[in-house]
């Protein structure tokens, strides 16, 4: 079975357990903390990926690093992953968990890129339109990308709405060349 399917199954299982125990927010928060910590530490990242380090040692290191910062349910899940030698899938599982969580809570992550920093009024207008259009709570992330020259690029999952000046110039260039 490929890693994507395995990650998805683990994510569905931990989400189901979290829902039964009303711990969805807690588990999401735990995963966020764990992934940030792993991303910030090359040593921890190497440890998680290492086939040489025993699963018990990995679990003990997680316990030592996170202490009381994460829930017992999350620790039990990490223990299961390490026992099954699946700890290398933790980031994919956390990603899948967040997708399930967002869908269940009617939330939609959106990346909004613009050539310059948007003011609060512009941000509110964009969020308002996206909320009206999608009927979901928008989780916005803003990026400044000077290469856009002007306008916006909005990314929602696999869908991209590109209303940037650069995109218009590219289309014009193609039309003139063809």
Q: What is the pLDDT of residues 64-81, one digit of tens each?
A: 999 999 999 999 999 999
Residues 67 and 120 in one domain: no
Residues 97 and 12 in one domain: yes
Whether residue 128 is predicted with pLDDT greater than 90 in this model: the reply is yes
Share of the chain above pLDDT 90, in %: 82
Residues 73 and 36 in one domain: yes
Give per-residue burial for 22-44: e unless 16+ CB within 10 Å, then b: ebbeebbebbeebeebbeeeeeb
Last residue of a domain, one of 103, 134, 149: 103
Residues 138 and 54 in one domain: no
Q: Give the residue numbers spanning the domain of 69.
A: 3-103
Last residue of a domain, one of 80, 103, 126: 103
Whether residue 114 is predicted with pLDDT greater than 90 in this model: the reply is yes
Last residue of a domain, one of 45, 68, 103: 103
Whether residue 109 is predicted with pLDDT greater than 90 in this model: the reply is yes
Whether residue 178 is predicted with pLDDT greater than 80 in this model: the reply is no
Write the CATH number for 22: 1.10.520.20
State the pLDDT confidence band at 49, using cuts at 50, 70 and 90.
confident
Residues 24 and 87 in one domain: yes
Q: How far is CA 67 from CA 31, 43, 59, 151, in A?
A: 14, 18, 11, 46
Q: How far is CA 23 from CA 1, 29, 102, 175, in A?
A: 29, 10, 14, 54
Residues 82 and 167 in one domain: no
Residues 95 and 112 in one domain: no
Nearest to 25 by CA among 74, 59, 61, 62: 74
State the pLDDT confidence band at 9, using cuts at 50, 70 and 90.
very high
Residues 56 and 92 in one domain: yes
Structure confidence at residue 1 (pLDDT): 72
Residue with tokens 């998805």: 8
Type and span of the H or E element at 161: strand 159-164
Residues 113 and 92 in one domain: no
Residues 96 and 125 in one domain: no
Please name the residues in contact with 15: beta carbons below 8 A apart, sequence gap of 6 or more.
24, 27, 97, 100, 101, 104
Question: What mean pLDDT is predicted for residues 17-38?
Answer: 96
Task: Give the whole-angstrom CA distance, residue 48 versus residue 39.
Answer: 11
Question: What mean pLDDT is predicted for residues 73-100?
Answer: 94
Whole-number average pLDDT of the chain: 94
Residue with tokens 């339109």: 129
Total count of domains within the chain: 2
Q: pTM score > 0.85 for this model?
A: no
In the numeric block, which tokens belong to residue 129? 């339109």
């Amino acid at each position: 079975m490929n890693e994507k399917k395995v990650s998805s199954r683990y994510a569905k299982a931990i989400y189901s357990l979290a829902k039964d125990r009303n711990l969805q927010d807690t588990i999401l928060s735990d995963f966020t903390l764990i992934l940030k910590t792993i991303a910030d530490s090359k040593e921890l990242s190497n440890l998680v990926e290492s086939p040489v380090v025993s699963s018990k040692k990995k679990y003990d290191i997680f316990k030592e690093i996170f202490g009381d910062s994460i829930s017992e349910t999350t620790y039990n899940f990490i223990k299961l992953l390490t026992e099954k030698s699946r700890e290398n899938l933790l980031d994919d599982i956390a990603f899948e968990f967040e997708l399930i969580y967002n869908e269940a809570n009617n939330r939609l992550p959106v990346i909004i890129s613009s050539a310059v920093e948007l003011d609060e009024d512009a941000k509110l207008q964009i969020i308002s339109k996206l909320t009206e259009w999608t009927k979901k709570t928008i989780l916005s992330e803003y990026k400044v990308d000077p290469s856009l020259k002007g306008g916006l690029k909005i990314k929602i999952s696999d869908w991209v709405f590109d209303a940037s000046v650069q995109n218009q110039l590219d289309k014009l260039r193609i039309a003139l060349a063809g």
